[in-house]
């Protein structure tokens, strides 16, 4: 959905979780899976990390029970504030789901 | 520290991340590691999941660079509201760090 619109340089099977309601991202993942993809990657940064875990759990436990969590990795990204110009560290998560 | 006080039935090497500042949990992990433990498990539920990832990243990148993320698992827990008596699903995370 809208989440994959601004991720042209990324893997098209990636859903970037942000500030929208959880079910938006669940639907985005379901759409990708129903379009013949065997897997989908959920990414999030900062506070959206909790929501990314929610998305993965709702998918695997309720809507796509044939999909399982294949790999979870965490990392730190440097984010530059456009106002102050200072860089800060933000944690990120990547959850790979596969059929 | 205080986080392990009410986790008697749990693994003593577990730090449960909640509402306190991130550095409290980083310190709790460092204390466990400095007391001879070769590893520590960080657990969190709901919104604290993002903070748990922060704790793991701050530890592995800054304060205990010899420690690496060994395993990350996510799950769903049923939480019963004491007021309404209804159960709701809450996502949880478990991050295992080891030397």
Q: What is the pLDDT of residues B20-78, one digit of tens each?
A: 999 999 999 999 999 988 899 999 999 999 999 999 999 999 998 899 999 999 999 99
Whether B57 sits inside 8 A of A95 (CB atoms) is no
Residues 20-79 in B contacting A (C-alpha not used; CB under 8 Å): 46-50, 53-54, 56-57, 61, 69, 72-76
- Give the span between the Cα atoms of B8 and B80, in whole angstroms: 21
Q: Which residue has the higher pLDDT, B5 or B98?
A: B98
pLDDT attached to residue A7: 41
- Give the span between the Cα atoms of A42 and A72, in whole angstroms: 10
Whether A57 sits inside 8 A of B95 (CB atoms) is no
pLDDT level of residue A81 (50, 70, 90 thresholds) = confident
Classify domain A14-98 at the CATH superfamily level: Alba-like domain (3.30.110.20)
Residue B8: partners with Cβ closer than 8 Å, 6 or more residues away: none
Which DSSP letter does residue B44 get?
E
Q: Could you tell me the strand order of the sheet in which A68-80 lies? A: A14-17, A39-45, A87-98, A68-80
pLDDT level of residue A46 (50, 70, 90 thresholds) = very high
Q: pLDDT at residue A98 above 50? A: yes
Indicate the residue of B46, B57, B95 with minimum beta-carbon distance to A50.
B46
Please state the rounded mean pLDDT for residues A19-33: 94
Q: pLDDT at residue A50 above 90? A: yes
- Give the span between the Cα atoms of B69 and B62, in whole angstroms: 14
pLDDT attached to residue A84: 87
Please state the rounded mean pLDDT for residues A48-53: 95
Read off the pTM: 0.84
Whether A57 sits inside 8 A of B75 (CB atoms) is yes
Q: How far is A41 from chain B (nearest CA, A)?
A: 15
pLDDT attached to residue B71: 94
């Amino acid at each position: 959905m809208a989440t994959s619109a601004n991720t042209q340089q990324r893997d098209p099977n990636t859903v970037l979780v942000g500030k929208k309601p959880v079910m938006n991202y669940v639907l985005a993942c379901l759409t990708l899976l129903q379009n013949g993809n065997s897997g989908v990657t959920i990414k999030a940064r900062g506070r959206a990390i909790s929501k990314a875990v929610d998305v993965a759990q709702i998918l695997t436990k309720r809507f796509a029970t044939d999909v399982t969590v294949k790999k979870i990795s965490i990392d730190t990204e440097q984010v530059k504030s456009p106002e102050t110009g200072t860089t800060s560290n933000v944690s990120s998560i990547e959850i790979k789901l596969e059929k």
